[in-house]
Amino acid sequence: MAFRDDIRRTRAIVWKDLTTERRSKAGFSAVAALGVTILVLFGLALGPDGKALQNAAAGALWLAILFASVLAFNRSYQVELDGGALEALLLYPGSRWAIFAGKLIANLIFVMAMLVIVVTVGIVLFDVRIPAQWPSIVGIMMLGVVGIVALGTFYAAMSSRSRAREVLLPLLLYPMLIPVLLASMEATKAFLFGDLLSASGAWVQMLSLFDVIFLVATFLAFEYVIEV
């Protein structure tokens, strides 16, 4: 059955991406270290005042995750470009969405793992008080990361194969992710400070809407960007 074959292909790509990533240990540690470094820089920029740091914690965390994950997206295709593996990948029969799904899931796992490290350091550095509704914050982080990774995996498929890819990916990606960033930051803040529950609900809705729309759009459009 064709669909079952495609699911099997997706699983194989996830396994392959994560295995190569795990074996070249430098990759993950470097990206996570960069995320932590960005947090430290934000801490220095926003000054030693504890109150100001706490207020800015949500924003700094999300920006650190965004900046570091962009490196992960380009790496994810770099593995394919070394030794012409992308050529072999495109020569296999089957649906193109299986390739996208595989890369997407592998990137999700990668970014989530990085997020755990960055958030842990952020809680310490920015003196964040963990509120009772911390599971909600975890949920928001998952939603936000799905949005970032969906578009990041999609745009990196183009930028990694064009000139000036280091510039092109953030240039395309950051403006597109502004709704995700605003929603994630505001919702995280609302839960951190036990703010009005009404607003955070709206942000969560927007995040979910964004994720659904762009998951569908990128799945449909991926075939057009990978084949040429």
Partner 1 sequence: MALDARGVARRFGARWVLRGINLQVRAGEMVGLLGHNGCGKSTFMRIVATLLKASAGDCFVYGSNVKTEGDDVRHHVGFFSHVPGLYDDLTARENLAFAATMLGFPSADIDAALERVGLTHVTHERVRGFSAGMQRRLSLARLILQRPRLLLLDEPYNNLDVAGIALMNGFIRELNAAGGAAVVVLHDLVPAEGVIDRTVTIREGRVHVPTVADFTHDGASPEAVTRPAGAAGVS
Partner 2 sequence: MSPAPANAFGPPKPLHAAFGWITLLFFVFTQAYAVATSPADALMGHLQKIMYVHVPSAWVEFAAFGVVLLSSLYFLWKEDERADLLAAASAEVGSVFCGLTLVQGMIWGRPTWGVWWTWDARLTSTLVLFLIFVGYLALRSFVEDPHRRGQWSAAVGIIGAINVPIVWMSVKWWRTMHQIQSNPRSLSPEYLRGLLLNLAAFTLITAWFIWRRYEAARYERAAEHVSQAAALGGYDG
Tell me: does residue 139 bind partner 2 (CB under 8 A).
Answer: no
Nearer to partner 2, 1 or 178 (CB): 178
Q: Is 3 in the site for partner 2 (CB under 8 A)?
A: no
Q: Does 160 bind partner 2 (CB under 8 A)?
A: no
Nearest to 158 by CA among 101, 224, 72, 69: 224
Binding to partner 2 (CB under 8 A): which residues in 140-159?
A: 151, 154-155, 158
Sign of CA dihedral 22, 25, 26, 32: positive
CA angle 92, 96, 100 (to 5 degrees): 115
Which residues lie closer than 8 Å to 127 by C-beta, 6 or more apart? Answer: 50, 53, 54
CA gap 11, 5 in Å, rounded: 10
Q: Which of 92, 116, 138, 199 binds partner 1 (CB under 8 A)?
A: 92
Q: Identify what 18 binds: partner 2, partner 1, none; CB under 5 to 8 Å per kind.
A: none
Regarding 210 and contact with partner 2 (CB under 8 A), the answer is yes
Joined tokens for residue 176: 């597109």
163-169 CB contacts, 8 Å cutoff, 24+ apart: 165/74, 166/74, 169/70, 169/73, 169/74
List the one residue from 72, 206, 211, 215 that touches partner 2 (CB under 8 A): 206
Tell me whether residue 12 or residue 41 sits nearer to partner 1 (CB atom): 12
- The answer to whether residues 81 and 165 touch, using CB atoms and an 8 Å cutoff, is no
Q: Could you tell which of partner 2, partner 1, none binds residue 182, using a CB distance below 5 to 8 A set by kind?
A: partner 2
29 sits near partner 1 (criterion: CB under 8 A): no
**Can you give the binding site for partner 1, defined by CB under 8 A?**
5, 8-9, 11-12, 15-16, 19-20, 23-24, 79, 82-85, 87-95, 227-228
